[in-house]
């Protein structure tokens, strides 16, 4: 891995440099692990202790942060976290922007329309009448079914599959192995077994959506399964037929959303959460990891647990459950003491019988 001078890094991220401009930096690291030829960052005062101990050669930090040490090169900037990302990207092993054009091993069917600067990677298969917007990149082995439409400036990573008719907006990113437009899981029970219900809709992904590796989004029975603008979906998520997700929502890994459920804007679903079908989840709802949401949720709620409840309620119920052992002891004590007291009363007051 090649090195870069501190001077070039400071320039790249717009920082003011205090220290040896010629220092050769091998890469980025966090404060705790960084070595003398690495650069790190300190974003907030609460990391001051780590800053004072770090063995890093240089550190990005806020313009006004004071530092006791004199042996550390300082790169002062407005937003150390953002500047660090820029530095990190300079060292990163990333897919490079390929030359525009179609790789000779790719197969294009009749009637495709490719925008300016489109790049189709090795072994892609592009179905008939597919339309791809300007500058969009297909990495190796992408499959686009007949009639797929993709906007400008998208990136589809290797082995992504879009079934026929799937529509993707502009500036979308789809990671390797994701499948969009597979049949919804719809079957009717009959005397001779499950009979397939035709899944004849499609999938509509709006602009600026990112979809994680090996995630699956099923086509609608009819109409579209729709993912709203700016929504970010992690790896191995399952989104069933006819689901609708609003803008700027966030779906963490391994979430499953059953058929026809609708999410509002800005919804956040924690990892491995599951949502029942045919429910409505309001704007801004936050659902904790592994929750099971079994009913519709009003906007703004924060839920956790299975079945998912307002998080305070779930925590209270859990706290009671954890106290249960002690609690059972208290009931046992009560039973004993009540029996003793009753015995004393029996000994010193006339019994019903005696009264009779």
Interacting residues of 336 by C-beta distance below 8 A, sequence separation 6+ = none
Q: Residue 261 interacts with a second copy (CB under 8 A)? A: no
Binds a second copy by CB under 8 A, chosen from 54, 60, 130, 163: 163
How many C-beta atoms surround the C-beta of residue 128 within 10 A?
15
Q: Residue 325 interacts with a second copy (CB under 8 A)? A: yes
Q: Residue 316 interacts with a second copy (CB under 8 A)? A: yes
Site for a second copy, residues 279 to 308, rule: CB under 8 A: 289-290, 292, 306-307
Q: Residue 3 interacts with a second copy (CB under 8 A)? A: no
- Residue 149 CA to residue 162 CA, distance in Å, equals 10
Q: Which two tokens stand for residue 224?
A: 């579209």
Binds a second copy by CB under 8 A, chosen from 201, 246, 264, 282: 201
Residue 215 contacts residue 231 (beta carbons within 8 Å): no
Interacting residues of 90 by C-beta distance below 8 A, sequence separation 6+ = 4, 9, 12
- Residue 356 CA to residue 301 CA, distance in Å, equals 63
Q: Where are the alpha helices (DSSP H) in the chain?
A: 6-13, 48-53, 80-91, 311-348, 352-355
Q: How far is the CB of 121 from a second copy (least distance, A)?
A: 7
Q: How far is the CB of 345 from a second copy (least distance, A)?
A: 6
Residue 259 contacts residue 278 (beta carbons within 8 Å): yes
Tokens 């249960």 belong to 324
Q: Residue 236 interacts with a second copy (CB under 8 A)? A: yes
Query: Quick one: which segment of 42-50, 60-68, 112-120, 222-230 binds a second copy (CB under 8 A)?
Result: 222-230
Element spanning 292, H or E: strand 292-293
- Residue 151 CA to residue 227 CA, distance in Å, equals 15
Binds a second copy by CB under 8 A, chosen from 52, 78, 113, 335: 335
Binds a second copy by CB under 8 A, chosen from 112, 205, 240, 269: 240
Q: How far is the CB of 307 from a second copy (least distance, A)?
A: 8
Q: Residue 54 interacts with a second copy (CB under 8 A)? A: no
Residue 284 gets which letter from DSSP?
T
Q: How far is the CB of 74 from a second copy (least distance, A)?
A: 19
Q: Residue 183 interacts with a second copy (CB under 8 A)? A: yes
Query: Quick one: which segment of 13-21, 58-66, 112-120, 314-322 binds a second copy (CB under 8 A)?
Result: 314-322
Q: How far is the CB of 322 from a second copy (least distance, A)?
A: 6
Binds a second copy by CB under 8 A, chosen from 15, 75, 179, 243: 179
Q: Residue 153 interacts with a second copy (CB under 8 A)? A: no
241 as an active site residue: the answer is yes
Q: How far is the CB of 33 from a second copy (least distance, A)?
A: 7
201-214 as b/e: b if 16+ CB within 10 A: bbbbbbbbbbbbbb
Beta bridge mates, 293: 275
Residue number with CB closer to a second copy (70 or 355): 355
Residues classed as catalytic: 241
């Amino acid at each position: 891995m090649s090195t870069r001078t501190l001077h070039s890094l400071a320039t790249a991220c717009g920082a003011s440099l205090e220290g040896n401009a010629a220092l050769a930096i091998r890469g980025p690291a966090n404060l705790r692990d960084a070595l003398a030829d690495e650069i790190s960052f300190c974003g907030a005062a609460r990391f001051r202790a780590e800053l004072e101990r770090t063995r890093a050669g240089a550190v990005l930090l806020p313009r006004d942060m004071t530092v006791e040490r004199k042996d550390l090169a300082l790169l002062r900037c407005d937003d150390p976290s953002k500047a660090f990302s820029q530095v990190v990207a300079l060292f990163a092993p990333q897919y490079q922007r390929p030359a525009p054009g179609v790789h000779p091993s790719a197969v294009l069917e009749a009637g495709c329309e490719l925008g300016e600067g489109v790049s189709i990677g090795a072994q892609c298969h592009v179905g008939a009448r597919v339309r791809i917007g300007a500058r969009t990149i297909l990495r190796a082995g992408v499959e686009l079914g007949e009639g797929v439409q993709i906007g400008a400036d998208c990136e589809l990573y290797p082995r992504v599959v879009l079934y026929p008719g799937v529509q993707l907006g502009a500036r979308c990113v789809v990671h390797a192995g994701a499948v969009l437009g597979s049949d919804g899981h719809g079957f009717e029970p009959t005397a001779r077994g499950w009979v397939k219900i035709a899944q004849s809709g499609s999938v509509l992904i709006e602009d600026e959506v990112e979809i994680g590796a090996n995630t699956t989004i099923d086509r609608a029975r009819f109409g579209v399964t729709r993912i709203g603008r700016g929504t970010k979906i992690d790896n191995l998520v399952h989104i069933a037929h006819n689901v609708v997700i609003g803008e700027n929502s966030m779906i963490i890994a391994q979430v499953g959303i059953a058929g026809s459920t609708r999410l509002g804007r800005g919804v956040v679903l924690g990892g491995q959460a599951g949502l029942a079908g045919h429910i409505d989840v309001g704007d801004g709802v936050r659902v904790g990891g592994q929750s099971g949401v079994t009913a519709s949720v009003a906007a703004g709620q924060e839920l956790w647990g299975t079945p998912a409840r307002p998080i305070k309620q779930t925590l209270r119920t859990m706290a009671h459950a954890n106290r249960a052992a002690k609690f059972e002891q208290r009931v046992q004590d009560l039973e004993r003491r009540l029996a003793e007291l009753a015995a004393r009363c029996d000994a010193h007051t006339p019994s019903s019988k005696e009264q009779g």
